[in-house]
């Protein structure tokens, strides 16, 4: 699998730094990684050569880590062009993206981990 590219999930998340709810795009790598755009409730696409993980998890249910930027200019992480990234936990059940919530997984590292 290529280590480049990601899909984007559009969701509302509470920033863990400032607490404000922001509408943001969450970059994540799951299913066919092809710059796809998703909303909560949509089914993940598994058709394509660039799959992450390489094999669809049993029943299509798993969690993964994605990354987003807080769009609140008053947030300590907002730096105009280069904000710090926040982590989000994305829950997928039966291939459907059901939830995204801010989390702390591996601060300062962008690993796009797949969790059970």
- CA nearest to 31, candidates 43, 13, 17: 43
What mean pLDDT, rounded, does the chain reach?
89
pLDDT by residue (tens digit) across 36-88? 999 999 999 999 889 999 999 989 999 999 999 888 888 877 765 555 688 99
* Pick from 29-43, 75-89, 102-116: least confident: 75-89
H-state helical runs in the chain:
none
- The pTM assigned to this predicted structure is 0.88
Q: What is the C-alpha to C-alpha distance for residues 17 and 115, in angstroms, rounded to an integer?
A: 24
**What pLDDT was estimated at residue 2?**
44
């Amino acid at each position: 699998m290529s280590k480049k590219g990601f899909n984007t999930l559009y969701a509302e998340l509470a920033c863990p730094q400032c607490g404000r709810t922001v509408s943001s795009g969450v970059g994540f790598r799951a299913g066919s990684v092809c710059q796809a755009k998703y909303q909560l409730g949509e089914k993940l696409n598994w058709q394509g050569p660039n799959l992450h993980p390489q094999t669809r998890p049993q029943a299509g249910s798993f969690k993964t880590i994605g990354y987003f930027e807080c769009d609140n200019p008053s947030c300590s992480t907002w730096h105009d062009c280069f904000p710090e990234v926040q982590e989000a936990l994305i829950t997928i059940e039966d291939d459907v993206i059901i939830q995204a919530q801010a989390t702390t997984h591996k601060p300062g590292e962008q690993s796009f981990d797949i969790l059970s």
